[in-house]
Amino acid sequence: MKEISEFSIPEPSLKRLPQYHHYLVELKSKGINLVSCSTIGRDLEFVPVQVRKDLQFTGVIGKPKVGYSVAELVVAIEAFLGWDIVNEAILVGVGNLGTAILGHERFSRFGLQVVAAFDIDPGKIGQTIHGKTVLSLAGLADIAPRMGIHIGIITTPAEVAQAVANEMVTAGIQAIWNFAPTKLNVPQHMIVHNEDLYSSLASLSCKLAKRFRAQIRETERLN
């Protein structure tokens, strides 16, 4: 395998890599060893040129008229996405959403193992949820560094998310996946990804409303 490209990858290409990975793992499980850009493009509904460009970022180059080695690509994507280096996370906030994430077996196939869950609710602490014992948030600063964990997931209400983020910074967490609908103030070195469901919702309802308004106008025009 070639060395991993140090050029920065455009966000859309990066976001497609898990889709390629998922697809390639399925091919592999079917015993398929080689695949071409055009086949990948056809199956995933991407332009083949785009497929070639996306996959180039992982350092793997397909052979003309032969295609890519499926196994090589799987390993290269996993390495590019860092699943060989970082794949353990802790989660804070074992409400409905936190429970959903803890129970999501598929995440482990996508490079994420949630190894510990924390909460502040005495009614939840000590309970076992999807095989993980819920720990007291007070223990985070001790446990996370000891386990060498660098990813933290926040699934708390918005009101307490900042306090949790502060705890995570103290605990040596370097990347936060934030599901709480609030902006976090964290030191510059922190990597934060806000999972903004309200934005998704806004995008959806805005498009639908636009269509309905057009229909209303059309009806008015005809009457």
Q: Which strands make up the sheet holding 175-178, listed edge to edge?
A: 128-129, 132-136, 113-119, 88-92, 151-154, 175-178, 191-194
User: Count of CB atoms within 10 A of residue 185's CB?
Assistant: 10
Window 168-207: contact mask with a second copy (x via CB under 8 A): ------xx-x---x-x-------x-x-xxxxxxxxxxxxx
Q: Minimum distance between the CB of residue 13 and a second copy, rounded to whole angstroms?
A: 10
Taking CB under 8 A as the criterion, the residue among 22, 28, 53, 132 binding a second copy is: 22
Q: Are 71 and 133 within 8 A, CB to CB? A: no
Give the interface segment with a second copy, choosing from 85-93, 118-126, 133-141, 159-167 (CB under 8 A): 85-93
**1 scored as a contact of a second copy (CB under 8 A):** no
Least distance (Å) between residue 66 CB and a second copy: 27
**Cα(130)–Cα(181) distance, integer angstroms:** 25
Task: Tell me which residues touch a second copy (CB under 8 A).
Answer: 4, 9, 11, 14-19, 22, 44-45, 80-87, 95-97, 99-100, 103-104, 106-107, 110-112, 150-151, 158, 174-175, 177, 181, 183, 191, 193, 195-213
